[in-house]
Amino acid sequence: MYYYSNEIVWRGHPDKVCDQISAAILYACMQQDKNTRAGIETVGGKGKVFITGEVTTSADIDVKAIARKVLDDIGYTSEYEIIDNIGKQSADIAMGTNDEVGGAGDQGMMFGYACDDTYQKLPKAMVMLQELAQWYDELRKTDPRFLPDGKSQITGKYGDGQKLLEIVDWTISYQNTEEEREATDKIITEKASEIADRYGVKIGRFLINPTGKFLIGGFDGDAGLTGRKIVVDAYQSFSNVGGGCMNGKDPTKVDFSAAHKAREIAIRYLPGHHWVQVQLSYAIGMAEPLAIYIDTDGGQLEAPKSLYEECTPARIIKDLKLKEIDYVELAKYGHFR
């Protein structure tokens, strides 16, 4: 038996807002030009949203309008100065990632994970936090006492096979008007309890806004940055995490595409195991991965040559239809659900 914690941040958390702005700009480009190359970074705070990075595309988009639409949808009501500082992708990188070469858009390692805990093939505590985050986003749209920013963490007691036995502490920090706090806290805890009951897990204790107050939030309370929540975007610490952000990057960037491929491979190898973790590694400009490592609760598995051929960026993009997906939706609550 052991204790372990995992965390999610909600859509209105400053870092997640920046993730969604970067993803929305990419999505707008991809809708007009499927061959868009992009690595978009956003930073926000104290009345300003600064958007930078590299984009090469034939799409005609209004970056500032897209950013404002995301802010409005999340529930940020303040007027922000939007600064568009986006440039073009380096020609040196393009040499190795064009359609003829088809190489990886960056070097690095990416991880994928699957387990037999839920039908989503994800850890139970992770799925529970995602459900609460999605419910909260709908709640704050209809109840003005609830404001966009927030995060939630489960500290659980675990047994053999990484199985969640009970929740020791469920910590929830949610931004609110501080009106009728007893009532709003009750709404939050009742929903969390309902989710836990559906998954057959008991909750020992709730820690709700443990500092005592959470009125000032969002970009007024903290700065945000694209890519600072890569653990939330991946597996909430239940798996190793690669070094790269997945938001605001076109599919030639293996930080994004190979992470999704590693997840698909993990699911494929899961039958007969409690969990599977896959690592893919690449060199910039080269198509096939340098290595594929498959680890399970029963030991390591050898990756066949055919799997290497399957893991080139071009093949991943085609097989997983990565030019057709909604990048903004992925950026909201985590890429794997």
Same domain flag for 78 and 149: no
pLDDT in tens, 35-82: 999 999 999 999 999 999 999 999 999 999 999 999 999 999 878 999
Q: What range defines the domain where residue 113 resides?
A: 108-117+225-333
Same domain flag for 201 and 275: no
- Rounded to two decimals, the pTM is 0.94
pLDDT in tens, 223-247: 999 999 999 999 999 999 987 899 9
> CB neighbours of 257 closer than 8 A, spacing ≥ 6?
251, 313, 316, 317, 320, 322
Check residue 25 and give its pLDDT. 98
CB 133 within 8 A of CB 333: yes
Could you give the CA distance from residue 320 to residue 305 in angstroms, rounded to a whole number?
20
Could you give the CA distance from residue 93 to residue 109 in angstroms, rounded to a whole number?
18
**Considering the domain boundaries, does residue 239 fall inside one?**
yes
For the chain, give the percent of residues with pLDDT over 90. Answer: 89
Name the residue with higher pLDDT: 62 or 96: 62
| Position 287 pLDDT exceeds 50 | yes
Give exposure, 92-129, as e/b (b: 16+ Cβ within 10 Å).
ebbebbeeeebbbbbbbbbbbbbbbbeeebbbbbbbbb
| Position 209 pLDDT exceeds 70 | yes
| Chosen domain end from 198, 222, 246 | 222
Band the pLDDT of 101: cuts 50, 70, 90: very low
- What mean pLDDT value characterizes the chain? 94
Q: Which amino acids are annotated catalytic?
A: 13, 15-16, 41, 54, 151, 214, 222-223, 228-229, 249, 253, 255
Check residue 97 and give its pLDDT. 53
Same domain flag for 184 and 164: yes
